[in-house]
Amino acid sequence: MITEYLLKKFVPELRIEKTGGASAVAAIPDQEIRKKIGTLGSATGMVLNILLSVMKMLLGFLIGSVAITADGVNNLSDAGGSLVALISVRMAQKPQDEDHPFGHGRIEYLGALVVGVLIAFFGVELIKSGVESIIAGKASAFSVLSFVLLVIGVIVKAWMSVFYRRLGKMTDNPTLLAAAKDSMGDAVSTSVITIATLISHVTGWPLDGYAGVLVALLVLKAAWDVLSDTVNRLLGGKPDRELGQKIVQMLTDYPGILGVHDLVIHDYGPGRCMASVHAEVDSRSNLVEIHEVIDTAEREMGETLLLPICIHMDPVVSGDEKTEEAKEQMAAYLSSLQPPLHLHDFRRVPGDKNINLIFDVVLPADVHKTDALLSGIQAHASTMDARYRCVVHFDRDYFGTSTH
């Protein structure tokens, strides 16, 4: 309810549809709208985190609680992270220039990286404070007001996590998604502090320092999740599997396209991906007609999936009886392996003494050793015809989507 109100108020051009009584918003392609949503998320987080930080640090000081004070400092770091997110989202909208032909979208990844580093830094500081409190063995004071304020802090942080996650998924914004994880961790850590404070009040046990250390560990776990995901993206980690499967499915539905392989998705920041892929076509096809099919596919898929796509045509020979027979036999052998493999771009080239079978074999991303596989392929080819010599190129399939 609150999220819908804020979106309508600050992003009025955004369409929010009702489906089954619930509001739904599709992924946002427009960069200007992405900027507004990112700004809304970051600004909201900054204001709420500052309010929570002031409340908790003041409360921690008044009742002498290291854990509550540390939690307030953590909220202050979140406010700084929201400021970083706000800056990175706006900087990411800078248009292409001579030095950055694909824009500045990866700045959002750098923003998420800074947020992760801030979280880790304050996590270490919280551990130090917690250990010092354990050594001192001093219990914090208790009041009904402090208990109520901590509960309010838990509710606010839980709502912020949901808020960040929804906006982050709508815009594919890694900084907001990182903030969602951090906010949920904060909600859990504040819950731990609230329970520890209540137990200490009832039993007299000095649990404040232990609660502070536990909070610090949760904070460090959130930092690890944010940093590992962001570094993976910056290093060119595995692309979106669902997007890859959708590209292949759509492309194989076009007439004249016999198979798809060598799909690559290039990530230049959230909402700024582009793809390249090879599409097999019959070598006897009319060049103008099949080129028109490819052009149509590039245009329609680009508009539907919201990413530019470059499709390379691979002509394959069909209709030659001996080539088709050799291809079927080799394909059957490859499909019998574990894991099952498949081939593409198969050619049969007769020579004076030998006959070359030239083709590509698609391997799963985690298969790296190919010597034994190549020996097995050659041995099987020799059983098909003693003159066969295999010339094999190995491809990688990062999506589980290649067809033949």
**Tens digits of residue pLDDT in 80-91:** 767 766 666 666
pLDDT band for position 138 (cuts 50, 70, 90): low
Angle between helices 66-91 and 144-171 (to 10 degrees): 20
Q: What is the DSSP string of 104-171?
A: STTHHHHHHHHHHHHHHHHHHHHHHHHHHHHHHTPPPP--HHHHHHHHHHHHHHHHHHHHHHHHHHHH
pLDDT band for position 3 (cuts 50, 70, 90): confident
Among 248, 250, 246, 247, CA closest to 260: 248
- Residue 341 near residue 399, CB atoms below 8 Å: no
Q: How many CB atoms lie within 10 A of CB 205?
A: 12
Residue 376: predicted pLDDT: 93
pLDDT band for position 104 (cuts 50, 70, 90): low
- pLDDT tens per residue across span 209-248: 787 788 778 778 877 877 887 787 777 666 677 778 888 8
In the predicted model, what is the mean pLDDT of residues 179-201?
Answer: 84
Averaging pLDDT over each range in 20-34, 156-170, 234-248, which range is the top one?
156-170
Q: Which residue has the tokens 């329609």?
A: 300
Q: If you average pLDDT over every residue of the chain, what do you get?
A: 80
DSSP-derived letter for residue 172 is: T
Among 240, 298, 294, CA closest to 265: 240
In the predicted model, what is the mean pLDDT of residues 28-40?
Answer: 71
pLDDT band for position 130 (cuts 50, 70, 90): confident
Residue 332: predicted pLDDT: 94
Does residue 181 come out as left (phi exceeding 0), alpha (psi in the -120 to 50 range) or beta? alpha
- Residue 183 near residue 41, CB atoms below 8 Å: no
**Alpha carbons 135 and 206: distance in angstroms, whole number:** 10
Q: Tell me which of 235 and 284 has the higher pLDDT.
A: 284
In the predicted model, what is the mean pLDDT of residues 68-88?
Answer: 73
Which 3-state string (H, E, C) describes 199-242?
HHHHHCCCCHHHHHHHHHHHHHHHHHHHHHHHHHHHCCCCCCHH
Lowest-pLDDT choice from 104-108, 127-131, 244-248, 383-387 = 104-108
| DSSP-based three-state secondary structure for 350 | strand
pLDDT band for position 2 (cuts 50, 70, 90): confident
Residue 249: predicted pLDDT: 87
Q: What angle do CA 234, 239, 245 make, to 5 degrees?
A: 170
Look at residue 135 and tell me whether its pLDDT is greater than 70. Answer: yes
Look at residue 392 and tell me whether its pLDDT is greater than 70. Answer: yes
Percent of the chain predicted with pLDDT > 90: 15
Among 162, 190, 189, 187, CA closest to 176: 162
| DSSP-based three-state secondary structure for 344 | strand
Q: Are strands 309-316 and 355-364 parallel, antiparallel or unpaired?
A: unpaired
DSSP-derived letter for residue 141 is: P
Residue 294: predicted pLDDT: 93
Q: All domains of the chain, ordered by start, with CATH?
A: 2-234 (1.20.1510.10), 241-397 (3.30.70.1350)
| First-to-final CA distance of the chain | 48
Q: Are strands 22-24 and 17-19 parallel, antiparallel or unpaired?
A: antiparallel
- pLDDT tens per residue across span 255-265: 988 888 788 88
| DSSP-based three-state secondary structure for 140 | coil
Q: Give Cα separations from 88 to 38, 152, 270 (angstroms).
A: 9, 30, 12
Residue 377: predicted pLDDT: 94
Does residue 131 come out as left (phi exceeding 0), alpha (psi in the -120 to 50 range) or beta? alpha
pTM for this structure?
A: 0.54
- pLDDT tens per residue across span 296-346: 999 998 888 777 899 988 887 766 788 889 989 999 999 999 888 988 888
- Residue 385 near residue 325, CB atoms below 8 Å: no
pLDDT band for position 254 (cuts 50, 70, 90): very high
Q: Give Cα separations from 183 to 117, 161, 188, 192 (angstroms).
A: 15, 5, 9, 14
Look at residue 65 and tell me whether its pLDDT is greater than 70. Answer: yes
Residue 88: predicted pLDDT: 61
- Residue 204 near residue 234, CB atoms below 8 Å: no
**Alpha carbons 366 and 373: distance in angstroms, whole number:** 14
Look at residue 108 and tell me whether its pLDDT is greater than 80. Answer: no
Look at residue 103 and tell me whether its pLDDT is greater than 80. Answer: no
In the predicted model, what is the mean pLDDT of residues 146-164?
Answer: 90
In the predicted model, what is the mean pLDDT of residues 56-64?
Answer: 83
Residue 89: predicted pLDDT: 60
**Residue 184 has which token pair?**
């949920």
Q: Tell me which of 324 and 143 has the higher pLDDT.
A: 324
